[in-house]
Amino acid sequence: MSFFNRRTIARTVIQLVGVAAYCLLLAGPGGTQPDAADMVRRLKAQAYRAYYGVEQPVNHALALQLYRQAAERGDAEAQFITGGMLYQGQGTDPDRRGGFKWLLKAAEQGKVTPESLAIIGAMYLRGSAVPQNFLEAKRWLTDAADKGNLAAQNDLAYLYYNGLGGERDYTRALELYEKAALQGDVMAQANTGLMYATGTGTDTDKARGYAWYSLAASRGNATAAINRNNLMMHMSWEELNRAQNLSLELYRRVENMAQPKPIAPEPPAQPQK
């Protein structure tokens, strides 16, 4: 037997022993079985303690098992946490398919964050872990984008720009790209520059197009740098001066924008009692 197999078996045995011990703790006084709601509450409380290491070593693998048990009993919060842990690989190897499943179940019960909504929409958009469906993608991404999620704004803009799941809407695409651009997304900055420079979804504005190109180029986007230099050849000195002043204004705005939050699978700050 290889070292890897012995180690894997030992780890599995330890986890099973841990679960068995927690099952004893979950039983009611005198070994009586708690009702369904009480069982979920106890599972989540013990999962919280394992996750954060309250009066015991941190054990994300055990926390995930316990949260999954609560999730399988229909608890939306446990479904959300289970989905987040699986998606990010906390307590297990990353499992985006399993993460999507539980995040979707939680979302259908109203337990969401902008980040989880964006993940669900993105997976429908790309056909990852679920069959591709532009209408479903637009449904979830719209909610996430309205809540300010950068990734969702980018993906939703792509749908509108290309007319996927409905008619093309360049004006709406530009609005979304610009929101994402102001949050610091380099590709969105380059796309916003392109739309202003070419008058797509708006009147042609070379100065604004140059400014967005220049901002994206300063963050390493080579295509934006080429487009900026090409556009500059067709601008007057007056336009160029305005464009460069505008690029500095945009730079300051972007630098002051709050950074987007990652998906948060963590349990609540305090365990439920």
**pLDDT (0 to 100) of residue 245:** 97
pLDDT of residue 258: 52
pLDDT in 10s for each residue of the chain, 273 residues: 332 343 443 344 344 444 444 544 555 555 556 688 999 999 999 999 999 999 999 999 999 999 999 999 999 999 999 999 999 999 999 999 999 999 999 999 999 999 999 999 999 999 999 999 999 999 999 999 999 999 999 999 999 999 999 999 999 999 999 999 999 999 999 999 999 999 999 999 999 999 999 999 999 999 999 999 999 999 999 999 999 999 999 999 999 875 555 555 566 655 444
Question: How big is the CA angle at 11 (ends 6 and 15), to the nearest 5 degrees?
Answer: 150
pLDDT of residue 256: 87
Q: Report how far residue 144's alpha carbon sits from residue 136's, in angstroms, rounded to the nearest whole number.
A: 13
Fold of 1-105: 1.25.40
Q: Which pLDDT belongs to residue 80?
A: 97
Extents of the domains making up the chain: 1-105, 112-168, 185-257
Provide the pLDDT for residue 272: 45
Handedness of CA 258, 259, 263, 264 (dihedral sign): negative
